[in-house]
Amino acid sequence: MSENRVAIISIIVEDRSSAAQINALLSEYGDYIVGRMGVPYKQKHISVMCVIADAPAEVLNSLTGKIGSLSGVSAKTLMAKI
């Protein structure tokens, strides 16, 4: 596997019924997660999450892809250049 990268995975949840699946995926990849923050934006009926991870690019892309494929969920990753 390649070298670890520090990354931020940004997640917007429009369908709260996907929350359990998101949490299950984050638990599955828990060894790579440094921290996470979630903020409900009640006026817009969405939740915004930020996950900080330290993992190989392949793992980060896999996690982001799995989260982003959930119903009513968008996810993008920003990786540090170091």
Largest CA-CA distance found in the chain, in angstroms, rounded: 43
Tokens in use for 73?
């969920």
Token pair of 17 as six digits:
């019924």
| Tens-place pLDDT, residues 54-76 | 999 999 999 999 999 999 999 99
Token pair in block for residue 34: 């440094």
Q: Which fold has domain 4-79?
A: Alpha-Beta Plaits (3.30.70)
pTM: 0.92
CA atoms within 13 A on the CB side of 69: 7
Sheet containing strand 46-56, edge to edge, reads 33-41, 46-56, 4-13, 73-79
Listed by start position, the domains of the chain span 4-79
Structure tokens at 33: 């997660």
What would the pLDDT profile of 6-57 be if each residue is shown by its tens digit? 999 999 999 999 999 999 999 999 999 999 999 999 999 999 999 999 999 9
